[in-house]
Chain A
Amino acid sequence: MSVKIISDVEFGEELPVFNPDTSLENTSAFAKAVGWGGPRFEDHEGARKEGFPGALVPGIMGMGFLVSAIHQWAPEGQIQHIDTVFRAPMLADTPAIINAVVTDIDEEEAFIELDMTIKNERDETRVFGTAKVKIPTS
């Protein structure tokens, strides 16, 4: 379910689950587009040679996934601020699950705040963050 105006938003509401594409093909395309090419992002074996358990999803791609989840839920929302903490690496070709919940609604200023996480299938948090989003009033 998506929201159009701020009165559609409910405190404590959970955003629809967003399953990002963490395939190596996709994450390495992102890495190259932002100028972060290299074995650690493009090749599992190359990443292992650098001491990682496999090719990494770029940290900021986690932010990109969170932004896309917000935009999918609030197609008219404008993200004013987003803050992400990289708690542990995300690995390419490993499923990731995004969850987000509304933690504040300011109807006067037309802002909402979200708490968000990216977890792996073992329910381990890889990235967490917050976002402040402006939502239309009408």
Chain B
Amino acid sequence: MVDIEELRKQHLETQFDQKEFVLSADNLIVAARASGETREEFLDPENEKFQATPAFLCSLASGSTLPIDFPSLGGIPMDGGKAVEIKAPVQPDIKLTGKTRLHEIYDKKGRSGRMIFIVVRMDLYNDKEELLATTDSRLVIREKPDS
């Protein structure tokens, strides 16, 4: 059984991934409209406040995996949820940088075994190194007894 405290000591709050993104206004509009969005700041690229919806920002974190030296826990990670904190509008056509780290690791035990929860946090910066948003991806792994 994997030692959660040891995992926390080894991996929490250490950046393990960095990616660059440039968002397309067309994709932002399609995603916003499909979500039922009605506000112009999410639908009209001519609007001075035009920006990505919170959900779109969470999609940027979808490719985040675990650190290369993270142990196998036996099960396939499932997407347990997403969160986002907005610090400033995220606009299209500018270079964005996402820096990813593990923010939390914890477990819950039940009759069917142990579930391990991992919160993968990505900070999203613009090209002036200003923090625009922070996304959390909650991975859930059902541990295999012999892992």
Q: Which residues of A contact B (CB under 8 A)?
A: 18, 20-21, 26-27, 29-30, 32-36, 58-61, 63-65, 67-69, 71-72, 75, 78-86, 129
Contacts and interface: CB of A to CB of B under 8 A. Distances in A.
Interface residues of B, number: 29
B93 to A, nearest CB: 16
A36 B59 contact: yes
Contact of B55 (A32, A60, A80): A60
A71 B37 contact: yes
5 contacts: A32-B30, A64-B35, A82-B83, A83-B136, A84-B81
B39 interface: yes
B30 A30 contact: yes
A34 B27 CA distance: 7
A65 B30 contact: no
A54 B58 CA distance: 23
B22 interface: no
B101 interface: no
A21 B36 contact: yes
B81 A68 contact: no
A33 B30 contact: yes
Majority secondary structure, B binding face: mixed
Interface string B1-42: 000000000000000000000000011101110111111000
A60 B59 contact: yes
B89 to A, nearest CB: 10
A26 B136 CA distance: 25
B79 A59 contact: yes
B138 A61 contact: no
A34 B80 contact: no
Given A63-B82, A85-B80, A18 B36 contact: yes
A1 to B, nearest CB: 15
Given A20-B36, A33-B30, A60-B59, A81 B84 contact: yes
Contacts of B32: 64
B54 interface: yes
B36 A81 contact: no
Contacts of B35: 20, 30, 61, 64-65, 67-68
